[in-house]
Amino acid sequence: MSAIIPGPQRLPDPLTLHPVILPDGTPHHGTVLLRAAIDHPNISVGDHAYASALEPPADWAAALAPYLYPGAPETLTIGPLSQIAHGVRFITASANHPMGGISTYPFRIFDMATAAPYVDEAARYGNTVVGPDVWLGFEARVMPGVTIGAGAIVAACAVVTRDVPPYAVVAGNPARVRRMRFSAAQVDRLLQIAWWDWPVAAILAALPALESGDIDALERAAP
């Protein structure tokens, strides 16, 4: 059995913009903690959720959720410790064209004072929610009103059109559950433990249990 390598003693402050420091001492500008990078009234972000991009955008909110405007009827919630790879996009409800009639042409956007029917239709799709400790792979797409459960993994280029159970691995277009990371009983235990809500020091102390998948040890480590 390989020796356990001690982990970090702390995590960066959640409001650190560039949390990854390269060996030469320079920050990696392509990775940001999203609480520091996003200031948008319709987006809420948990501590230590991060995103990466090969070419860092000037506006991370616009890059991740390009159709979500301030005051839109829907919101985007990104849970703590979530990991968002390059090219991920959240296609929120306001991206949709009107589909209740004969034409999908958005006539009313040219006079926003008349756009209330569009806003009402968008609101029916609901909010987009990414749970804690979710990994969204390269260029994944998340469609309107989807909830992704804690600990889920979304494969590269997947198109998520429906809710994802906690600790599921989904892939494809449309994304389907390919496997579960843990048994149903184990998932229930992990959701009860909710380690992502612990103080950071307790999380880091439990790193050997988290990395090895030892749920019993993780339960014993609970503060």
**Residues annotated as catalytic (active site), given as ranges:** 97
Q: Hey, what are 155's tokens? A: 């494969």
CA distances from 136 to 16, 40, 65, 129 (A): 21, 21, 14, 13
Q: How many other β-carbons are positioned within 10 Å of the β-carbon of residue 207?
A: 15
Integer Cα distance of 21 and 11 in angstroms: 12
3-state secondary structure of 142: strand
Instruction: Find, among 147, 123, 38, the residue nearest to 72 by Cα.
Output: 123
Instruction: Find, among 147, 183, 186, the residue nearest to 165 by Cα.
Output: 147
Residue carrying structure tokens 């008349």 = 114
Separation of CA 93 from chain center: 16
